[in-house]
Amino acid sequence: MIPSVFEYHAPSTVSEALSLLGQYGDGAKLLAGGHSLLPMMKLRFAEPAHLIDLNKIRELSGIREEGGVIKIGAMTSETALIDSALLQKKIPLLVEAASLIADPQVRNRGTIGGDITHGDPGNDHPAITIALDAKFILVGPKGERTVAAGDFFLGTYMTDLQPEEILKEIHIKPFAPKTGSAYCKLKRKTGDFATAAAAVVLQMSGDVVSSARITLTNVGPIALHAQAAEQALVGKPLTDASIAAAAAAAMAICDPAEDLRGNIEYKTAMAGEMTKRAIRLAATRCK
Amino acid sequence: MAKKLITVTVNGNKIEQAVEPRTLLIHFLRENLNLTGAHIGCDTSHCGACTVDIDGQSVKSCTHLAVQCDGSEVVTVEGLADKGVLHAVQDAFYKEHGLQCGFCTPGMLVRAYRLLQDNVNPSEEQIRAGMAGNLCRCTGYQNIVKAVRHAAKTLQTAKQAVAA
Amino acid sequence: MNSPLNDRKAALMGMGDSRLRKEDARFIQGKGNYVDDIKMPDMVYMDIVRSPVAHARIKKINKEAALAIPGVLAVLTADDLKPLKLHWMPTLAGDVQAVLADEKVHFQMQEVAVVIATERYIAADGVEAVSVEYEELTAVIDPFKALEKGAPVLREDLAGKTEGAHGKRYHHNHIFTWEAGDKAKADVAFSAAEVTVKQDMFYPRVHPCPLETCGCVASFDPVRGELTTFMTSQAPHVVRTVVSLLSGIAESKIRIVSPDIGGGFGNKVPVYPGYVCAIVASIVLGRPVKWIEDRVENISSTGFARDYHMTGELAATKAGKITGLRVNVIADHGAFDSCADPTKFPAGMFHIVSGSYDIPAAYCRVDGVYTNKAPGGVAYRCSFRVTEAVYLIERMVDVLAQDLKMDKAEIRSKNFIRKEQFPYTSAFGFEYDSGDYQGALDKVLNACDYKGLRVEQAAKRADPNSPTLMGIGLVSFTEVVGAGPSKMCDILGVGMFDSCEIRVHPTGSAIARMGTISTGQAHQTTYAQIIATELGLPSEVIQVEEGDTSTAPYGLGTYGSRSTPVAGAAIAMASRKIHAKAKKIAAHLLEVSENDLEWEIDRFKVKGQDAKFKTMKDIAWAAYNKPPAGMEPGLEAVHYYDPPNFTFPFGIYLCVVDIDKATGETKIRRFYALDDCGTRINPMIIEGQIHGGLTEGFAVAMGQQLTFDAQGNIQGNTLMDYFLPTFVETPKWETDFTVTPSPHHPIGAKGVAESPHVGSIPTFTSAVVDAFSHLGVAHMNMPHNAFRVWQQLQASGVKS
């Protein structure tokens, strides 16, 4: 498995990368961690003439808190997310999800931005960032714009990122006190995509759920935001019945593709089961 | 297609070579530098037989371009031993029967080497999670887990000896 | 216990010693020498153009664009091989296989053309540039449909042939019918039976998937007329013979070398088109040609295993004594019959299907069928088709137990061949060498507190809130390995002996050369240990070389657990020839008669006189420098061992699983494996082999399957989908053993590496099915992945 010939560019600034992107247009591909793109190129499913490697752009990496917002550079690796004391404390859902992605070596290279912009419904960060109500900072020749995670994913391998744009940062508000979260991911083995996964962010006011965000991975053409499931929980005490209702609502929006992981019925049922588990686990963490 | 000149430090030796941009790091190491320890097992970054250490991180070199290593420090299995003295992970794999056909072994060793730098005293569960990017078809992993624990002990004992 | 005798024995590190492996030094330092590590001056690279469709006529192959790429040296198709008569090749099973698709492709990923280029990357570019025009034909994926009346003719080259290599073909897609046992007698047992059970089961198509793919470096020297080929082969001598027959080059001018091999598991037994094309390319170009498969090619086109559609029937008394067995199999062999079996046995040793049980009447029938899938049918970490056979009988015994509401352990005890019945001749004619099945079973049941497990299971079943279903699997398997006696077993006419040549050097070190080849089993260590014990020389100074046909004596190679049973015996016999000569020399040196000598660990001593002795080391020197008058100098021997019988390793495996009622995920709580491989040479290595075999068995039972869509497209042919368990999924194994030596083997060893694969697979199924047995489920087909188990949970109405 050998990629076809391409020209390699390693810009050191975002503006340099943007100008290369402008210059080569459709013939160019951005290289982040490379664990989706390079195998595609080795199989010759992708044959870009120009590869623009974003790994040398320092300003694209790093995690910082600024003005009450956590700002994560798009080229921040999964390993860096996992190791971040800031995220462990303030957005533990991101840490939990990152540690369920692929394997240690792949997490060393794989980046949050690459995972998001690939537009693969099997990737985990789309559902996670929607659950976290993240904002994506996209930068293009005309400057920056901000898109909510919930508006970014348009279809399988299709996102709102324009060909001349680069995802620069992911902005997420830290969890309010007593927020609980969980990501439950059913997979066949280490390194696999989810058969189905659910992310839940929960706040409790006494026994009553005061807010809930529920999203699903790999059970539709894009990551799904299960709003009806959220409504099944909010304003009520958490009971077996309300959890079951939320799971049923989550299952109702599933539209998975059948593959070796399972048929539509199984994946839908597992989305429900993962939703239940994530709600229960998140609730135990609302402390 | 124009070749790119890269400078890479491999196992402590500074290498300057012009490479085709599409050259995979694994081929650069195996073909250009004759470091045939790391192997290709799956081509799709699932098996870890090609694992090397780049700037202090384990990386699957079948899914990494040689040009991306410009300015980097790379360590392969050939660089683990120090002047003919085996590294503790190499010795432990031998002592605990942590290998059979040997094909996955270079990747396993380099990964175990890094794991023990990141976590000097890993539990069995941490070893299993930390090594999960490396596949072995022969051993069933049980003796590799033993070997990594064995190496951890050796390294800690050596550290204590130095401290004393 | 410390004593001078024990110290001397320990110093040898011979049989029974868990000595560390001699081969490790190179592997842990990245200095192994695998095929892709080999570089030769002037070497070029080959890559293969493969069919994207499963069944089609080739209309046109356009080479021009590829040939126009700088660095592409040649593009070869079937038409280029025709003048050499190499466009088809014989298979080990008596069929022929297209080397490059000849007018028609028969499976997806079949070899259509090869590109040779100066660099690996350019060869890959060349493959992309070759365009092939196909006219698609209806693909036939299901072997039952292949046998229907109007089914498309898959093998047009065999049109009209009603006789195949194994007798009558009753349909154009039928390969053979093979029968064993006594049908009439079995039918009588069934018509007289108090109870009968019948179960269909499918053993899916799987792939051995060693971590190293297949490949070779072929180097033809046009000046000397000599061909050297380094290749990933488990049987280099057989390859040399085949290459000689195909090419017309004298065997003496062909050297096949199997260097270090990165795992074989049966995948590296067949001769693949890639090897043949690389050899042809090297002859055509006069340059060394390297070909290395990628993983997708390996999984899609090289030797698969299993794909057996089986129906088992047992006849029994109400008390659970089995009185008859009938088995019917439709065997999907893919597009060409390139099974790797002894030639007279198109279904291998499948007739071990009566298992560990004393069954008076038995009959089996296997029908081989062509489909539009890759050829193969290799023995994946097992003796030929033994895994399928063991699976069937172990499943059937469970099915019968359930029908009779008997316990799994009890029904096995009731039907075991008893210790005193050995040697035991089965209804299929195998003569089982030795065994103590009941003793082994008792040991396992006690070690695992089987009764306690059943109590716990009953409690779980009674608890509607239990999140899991608990299952207990139990298997008591017997294998037949060590093929084989040449009166029964040959491959293309070559008897299945194996060989050893030992040379003891003047200073008391030695070299042994073998006809086998290690693919990870540590022959360099274990063979040296046998010699150490036989000759009293330290294993540390005994070198073992194998895999090079120019230096090693002819042998049939390593597969079917035959290395220790056959080659191991050859080592002992060659050693004994040396021992006999050494004794004569010792008698001469000590000036006594041979009858006055006794052997003690590492020396001959005069009986009862500890101080009057000559060590083997002393004798080695004398053998060269002062042999007795009239004796030829030197101390070496060769032995070709034709085994009098197979060996019959056995084991008892117990597995406890907990199945998640909501997701269908199965957790292996406990797996206890007791193996009896006869005499144990290196316990450390045995344990390692068992861990590995259990892990492969786990992979097969729980997740491996090559599936195809209706058009014949293979699905899941990368390691993303094809299940190779990681550190995280793999269970922890507990091992145990008993020792029942083989009476006919020189050192009593039976072979071990395949038992854990063969034995564990039905154990997992037994455990998973057991979790559902109270719900009336008698059998579930593999793989027991979460999705499939969940479907059973739904079908059985299990609420989470």
- Residue-wise pLDDT tens digits, A68-100: 999 999 999 999 999 999 999 999 999 999 999
pLDDT in tens, C416-445: 999 999 999 999 999 999 999 999 999 999
pLDDT above 70 (res C295): yes
The verdict on domain A61-172 having CATH code 3.30.465.10 is: yes
Mean pLDDT of C34-44: 98
As a whole number of Å, the CA-based R_g of chain B is: 16
Q: Which is nearest to A181 in space by CA: A214, A227, A135?
A: A214
Contacts of B83 (CB under 8 A, 6+ apart): none
Tokens of C521: 């089993």
Structure tokens at C738: 């008993």
Closest C-alpha among C379, C440, C433 to residue C648: C433
Taking each continuous run of H as one helix and of E as one strand, the counts in chain C are 20, 36
Q: What gap in Å lies between CA C301 and CA C306, rounded to an integer?
A: 15
At which residue do the structure tokens 């057989």 appear? C238
Confidence of residue C341 (pLDDT cuts 50, 70, 90): confident
> Which of A151, A136, A18, A127 is closest to A69 using CA atoms?
A136
Out of B22, B65, B133, the one facing A5 most closely (by C-beta) is B22
Note the pLDDT tens digit of each residue in C538-553. 999 999 999 999 999 9
Contact criterion met (CB < 8 Å) for B142 and C720: no
**pLDDT of C45 higher than 80:** yes
Q: Which of the residue ranges C136-145, C482-491, C571-580, C688-697 would you say has the lowest mean pLDDT?
A: C482-491
For residue B58, give the chain A residue with the closest CA.
A105
Tell me how many helices (H) and strands (E) chain A has: 12, 14
- From the candidates A38, A41, A120, A188, which should be mutated to test the interface with C, based on the most C CB atoms within 10 A? A188
Of the candidates C355, C428, C486, the one whose C-alpha atom is nearest the C-alpha of residue C762 is: C355
**Chain C residue with Cα closest to A271:** C663
**Out of C297, C388, C546, C754, which one is annotated catalytic?**
C754
C204 — contact with chain A (CB < 8 Å)? no
Taking the CA of residue C703 and the nearest CA in chain A, the distance in Å comes to 9
CA-based nearest residue to C768, from C469, C448, C450, C451: C469
B56 with B97, same domain? no
Beta carbons of B114 and C696 less than 8 angstroms apart: no
Scored b (16 or more CB within 10 A) or e, A98-110 reads bebbbbbbbbbbb
- Counting as contact any 3 or more CB pairs under 8 A, the partners of C are A, B
Q: Which residues, numbered 284 to 343 in chain C, qualify as contacts with chain A under a Cβ-Cβ cut-off of 8 Å?
A: 294-296
Write down the architecture of domain A182-284 according to CATH: 2-Layer Sandwich (3.30)
Length of chain A measured in residues? 287
Task: Work out whether strand C468-478 and strand C650-660 pair parallel, antiparallel, or are unpaired.
Answer: antiparallel
Is the pLDDT confidence value at C1 over 70?
Answer: no
Distance CA A250, CA C473 (A): 37
pLDDT at C92: 86
Q: What is the pLDDT of residues A158-211, one digit of tens each?
A: 999 999 999 999 999 999 999 999 999 999 999 999 999 999 999 999 999 999
Give the residue numbers spanning the domain of B30.
4-79
C659 CA to chain A: closest CA distance, Å?
14
Closest to C393 measured CA to CA, from C429, C357, C437, C426: C357
Q: Which chains have 3 or more CB–CB distances shorter than 8 Å to chain A? A: B, C
- d(Cα C590, Cα C607) in Å, to the nearest integer? 12
Q: Is the predicted pLDDT of residue C359 greater than 60, yes or no?
A: yes
**Per-residue confidence (pLDDT) for residue C190, from 0 to 100:** 98
pLDDT > 70 in chain C, percent: 100
Would you state the pLDDT for residue C493?
Answer: 85
Catalytic residue from among C277, C382, C448, C489 = C382
| C-alpha dihedral (A137, A140, A142, A145), degrees to nearest 10 | -20
CA distance C365 to C300: 29
8 Å CB contact of C663 and A186: yes
Alpha-carbon distance A11 to nearest alpha carbon in chain C (angstroms): 26
Q: Are residues B111 and B75 in the same domain?
A: no
Domain identity same for B73 and B8: yes
Nearest CA in chain C to A191: C720
Six token digits for residue A131: 């659950």
The residues, any chain, with a CB within 8 Å of residue A236's CB and separated by 6 or more, are A208, A209, A242
Cis peptide before C452 (omega within 30 of 0): no
Does A35 contact chain C (CB < 8 Å)? no
pLDDT given for residue C2 in this prediction: 58
At A280, is the secondary structure helix, strand, or coil?
helix
**Contact yes or no for C519/C234 (Cβ under 8 A):** yes
Both B22 and B72 in one domain: the answer is yes
- How much is the pLDDT for C343? 82
Has residue C779 got a pLDDT over 80? Answer: yes
- In the annotation, is C381 catalytic? yes
Residues in CB range of C31: below 8 A, 6 or more apart: B37, C25
Q: Is C234 a catalytic residue?
A: yes
Question: Contact B43/A35, CB-based, under 8 Å?
Answer: no
Mean pLDDT over each residue of chain A, to the nearest integer:
97
CATH classification of the domain holding B147:
1.10.150.120
Confidence of residue A65 (pLDDT cuts 50, 70, 90): very high
Q: Name the H helices within C448-546.
A: 450-462, 523-535
Mean pLDDT of A58-67: 97
Are residues B136 and B114 located together in one domain of the fold? yes
- C20·B142 Cβ contact <8 A: no
Nearest by CB to A270, which of C663, C707, C728? C663
Instruction: Verify that B159 and B94 share a domain, yes or no.
Output: yes
Q: Is C214 a catalytic residue?
A: no
Question: Do residues B75 and B10 both lie within one domain?
Answer: yes
Ranges assigned E (strand) in chain A: 7-9, 28-31, 50-53, 63-66, 69-73, 135-140, 143-148, 153-155, 158-159, 166-172, 179-186, 196-205, 208-217, 224-225
Contact B22 A38 (CB under 8 A): no
Chain A residue whose CA is closest to C715? A260
Assess contact for C742 and C433: CB atoms under 8 A: yes
pLDDT digits (tens, 9 = 90+) for C89-139: 999 889 999 999 999 999 999 999 999 999 999 999 999 999 999 999 999
Query: What number of C-beta contacts closer than 8 Å exist between B and C?
Result: 171
pLDDT tens digits, B98-135:
999 999 999 999 999 999 999 999 999 999 999 999 99
User: What does pLDDT average to over chain C?
Assistant: 96
Q: Is C248 left (phi over 0), alpha (psi -120 to 50) or beta?
A: left
Do the beta carbons of residue C159 and residue C151 sit within 8 Å? no
Judged by a CB distance cut-off of 8 A, whether residue A105 touches chain C is: no
Q: Which residues does B132 contact at the CB level (< 8 Å), separation at least 6?
A: A103, A104, A190, A191, C726, C727, C728
Q: How many structural domains is chain B composed of?
A: 2
Q: How many CA atoms lie within 13 A of B25 on its CB side?
A: 30
Closest CA to C698 of C756, C752, C781: C756
Cβ of A189 within 8 Å of Cβ of C790? The answer is: no
Q: Which residue in C199, C234, C704, C792 is the catalytic one?
A: C234
Domain A7-53, CATH number (from 3.20.10.10, 3.40.309.10, 3.30.43.10, 3.30.565.10): 3.30.43.10
Domain match, B144 and B110 both: yes
* Distance (Å) from the alpha carbon of B120 to chain C's nearest alpha carbon: 19
Exposure of C499 by Cβ count < 10 A (0-12 exposed, 13-18 middle, 19+ buried)? buried
Instruction: Point out the domain boundary residue: B15, B49, B79.
Output: B79
Structure tokens at A280: 């229960």
Give burial (CB, 10 Å; 0-12/13-18/19+) of A245: middle
CA closest to C124 among chain A residues:
A2
Residue C283: pLDDT band with limits 50, 70, 90? very high
In this model, does residue B1 exceed pLDDT 70?
no
Best CA proximity match to C626, nearest among C592, C597, C588: C588
pLDDT tens profile A100-152? 999 999 999 999 999 999 999 999 999 999 999 999 999 999 999 999 999 99
Neighbouring C-beta atoms of residue C59, cutoff 10 Å: 10
pLDDT digits (tens, 9 = 90+) for C360-418: 999 999 999 999 999 999 999 998 999 999 999 999 999 999 999 999 999 999 999 99
Q: Which two tokens stand for residue C280?
A: 């042809």
Tell me how far apart the alpha carbons of residues B56 and B59 are, in angstroms, rounded to a whole number: 9
How far is the C-alpha of B40 from the C-alpha of B43, rounded, in Å? Answer: 6
How far from C146 is each of C139, C161, C311, C330, CA to CA, in Å? Answer: 10, 17, 18, 11
The alpha carbon dihedral of C435, C439, C442, C446 has a sign of negative
Which of B79, B96, B118 is the last residue in one of the domains?
Answer: B79
Q: Residue C576 above 80 pLDDT?
A: yes
Is B129 within 8 Å of B72 (Cβ atoms)? no
Kindly provide the ipTM of the predicted complex, given to two decimals. 0.98
> What are the structural domains, with CATH classification, of chain C?
4-32+498-641 (3.30.365.10), 35-137+213-261+268-301 (3.90.1170.50), 305-483+646-795 (3.30.365.10)
β-bridge partners, C77: C113
Q: Residue range C55-69: average pLDDT?
A: 98
- Cβ of residue A25 closer than 8 Å to a chain B Cβ: no
What count of other Cβ atoms lies within 10 Å of the Cβ of residue C118?
16
> Can you tell me the mean pLDDT for C552-577?
93
Q: Is A42 touching B (CB cutoff 8 A)?
A: yes
Alpha helix (H) ranges present in C130-170?
A: 143-146
Pair B142, B109 in one domain = yes
Q: Is the dihedral of CA C695, C697, C703, C704 positive or negative?
A: positive
Is A12 an 8 Å CB contact of chain B? no
| Residues B33 and B92 reside in one and the same domain | no
Nearest CB partner across the interface for A190, out of C664, C703, C726: C726
Shortest alpha-carbon distance between residue A138 and chain B (Å): 25
E strands, C85-194, in order = 88-90, 96-98, 104-105, 111-117, 131-136, 163-164, 167-168, 174-181
Looking at the fold, whether B99 and B138 belong to one and the same domain comes out as yes
Nearest residue in A to C787, CA atom: A262
- Name the domain boundary from B79, B99, B115: B79
Q: Enumerate the domain spans of chain A.
A: 7-53, 61-172, 182-284
- The answer to whether residues B63 and B95 belong to one domain is no
- Put simply, whether A103 touches C (Cβ < 8 Å) is yes
Per-residue pLDDT for C799 more than 60? Answer: yes
How far is the C-alpha of C768 from the C-alpha of C271, rounded, in Å?
Answer: 37
Write the DSSP assignment of C592-640 as a string of letters: S-GGGEEEETTEEEETTEEEEEEEHHHHHHHHHHSPPTTPPS--EEEEE
Query: CA-to-CA distance for A267 and A277, rounded, in angstroms?
Result: 15
Q: Do C694 and B140 touch (CB under 8 A)?
A: yes
Q: What does the pLDDT read at residue C335?
A: 98
Q: Chain C interface, mutation test: which of B100, B139, B150, most C Cβ atoms within 10 Å?
A: B100
Closest Cα in chain C to B47? C719
Instruction: Tell if the CB–CB gap between A266 and C296 is shorter than 8 Å.
Output: no
